[in-house]
Structure 1
């Protein structure tokens, strides 16, 4: 099952090689343009019901890497389409460091050079990376900080910035048909037809690099459903393999609820309180703000909730405020759908310094 999610690299390069000159730049522009539309969690479809291919989160094992580090990135995605299960291919591109103005679209030139080299069968420029699958590793240059111009602001902490671009395709990635305007990177089904937005997602993740600062991902230890601790299907990287529920027995770790004829309506369906289990000391001191501005504040944190079916009272909840710290009321309420069945539900914790972690449970609607 896991292998089906890997793109056939040789076929991608075949498409690139057979396309018109300039395709490499087009591929680069496509990925970057896609990033603008889905780069932030708030831009995803409403999470009350996932009914298409969705990228829920991208995690870096080192949210604040240091020069010379290797950084592992992982993608949490789910295909809620009526056509699922179907093969989904995930592709990554790296090699953009310190673009002009720190803007992601300043990566166009670096990515174009890397893709052009691949197109020509040559070795890509140093630092350029291409990979497939749910996880990818990129290397941070040793001089990512020292190579930047010295800032005129004496309070600015020296830093570097790395961008990684990704695409998830329910089919095979390749250049868009000639003459098609707009997004030039396309996704093709087994029948050769182009897959629409319900089966194609592109975006980016950025990593700030410091010499002396680091940041840890949030830690999730479990899940509470209707005031009872249930067994998660998975936490973190374990979710990338799409594991089954750890139990099949209601009342012994499986979250079970009656179906609601009102289909998740907040006025007419019972309110079921839910939350991931997270320690109150999860929010770290924002040491960059402390060093540069003398402010003793914590990182800001929030949780996004997602589900296959049903609805939430609030799909985004505050986990920690920079001034007030930890918010114990970070849970939300879930309202069951009318169709019986087993449905996946996720909680994704974020901090404003690039940290991410997730947990998934199965909800049995009877």
Structure 2
């Protein structure tokens, strides 16, 4: 079984992207896991987190399928080429969270998450030097990995951003970071198609072969927490200081038929614009088509919208 954990292919300067859920192509021509959303988007070890999944196929959303969630219990060793530990992939090293069809599953971030997958010293995995801390991502964050099994799909991996300490920081920097840092919040996605706003699960009618311009947008955000491109602080390892940053935003576009001009768009952290556009081109034959738009911020937050298009 292939493992569906792939890095977003959109290369944007200074954009930080976590491994995405089966984000290889915009065409949904088989059963796939398109996105996982954690609520809250960032949680401390020992805190509860609610997980929901978007499963889609050629016929549309598949909320009727049972999704089985688990956190990985072991850290991937340096000698392992897979995106997660072998014990997580074969279920011998997992923390089971539960299974559900169409409803969120609630679990608890393991208490040792910052030791296994963060900056705290741990015993290390097979083939890895004992006690080597994990490296942060480009935003300074650490993540608890997990896996999802859905019948008929490839094994999918997800990550929950985990609140950990600062490695190598001075007392002054640690205090400054503690005062100013706010945990990540999920973004709020809005869609406009052909100039008309559409709520989630909206129905749009177009002619066969017609081009449908679609814009994904998010709210203005001047202070955190908020549901736009949040400002945040990060510890810069090179200068050993706390620096101000802003989240980049990545938009992934999916469709059961027709085609998007591009699979992914987005905004870098240096770009203050609050939207990103794409064009979907309807197939030449009438029928029902499903579109999905997935918005992800640089620190692991996610939101999803579904649109059904009646091609006439």
Fold-level match, TM-score > 0.5?
A: yes
Q: Does 1:145 align with 2:114?
A: yes
CA contact (8 A) 1:65 1:209 kept: yes
Q: Per-residue deviation at 1:328?
A: 4.2
* 1:60-114 deviation digits (Å, cap 9, x = unpaired): 11222112101111110112169x989633222224265556x8766334776x7
Give the structure with the larger strand fraction. 2
Q: Per-residue deviation at 1:301?
A: 0.9
Report how many aligned residue pairs link the two structures: 261
Q: Does 1:76 align with 2:43?
A: no
- 1:301 corresponding residue in structure 2: 249
157, 164, 170: which one pairs with 1:204?
A: 157
Change in 2 beyond 3 A, CA 1:293/1:325: farther
83, 90, 95: which one pairs with 2:67?
A: 90
214, 219, 233: which one pairs with 1:274?
A: 214
Q: Per-residue deviation at 1:168?
A: 1.7
Give the structure with the larger helix fraction. 1
* 1:203-241 deviation digits (Å, cap 9, x = unpaired): 211223225551011112x421111123431xxxxxxxx
CA RMSD of aligned residues (A): 3.7
**Matches of 2:293 and 2:140 in 1, distance apart?**
34
Q: Which runs of 5+ in 2 are unaligned?
A: 9-18, 123-130, 165-177, 222-227
Q: What aligned pairs does 1:269-348 form with structure 2 within 5 A after superposition?
A: 270-281=210-221, 282-289=228-235, 293-318=241-266, 320-322=267-269, 324-328=270-274, 330-348=276-294
- 2:183 corresponding residue in structure 1: 214
- 2:297 corresponding residue in structure 1: 351
TM-score (norm 2): 0.69
TM-score (norm 1): 0.60
Q: Which has the larger radius of gyration?
A: 1
205, 209, 220: which one pairs with 1:256?
A: 205
Change in 2 beyond 3 A, CA 1:105/1:96: farther
Q: Per-residue deviation at 1:288?
A: 2.6
**Matches of 1:214 and 1:226 in 2, distance apart?**
35
Q: Which runs of 5+ in 1 are unaligned?
A: 1-29, 116-124, 171-199, 234-244, 246-253, 261-269
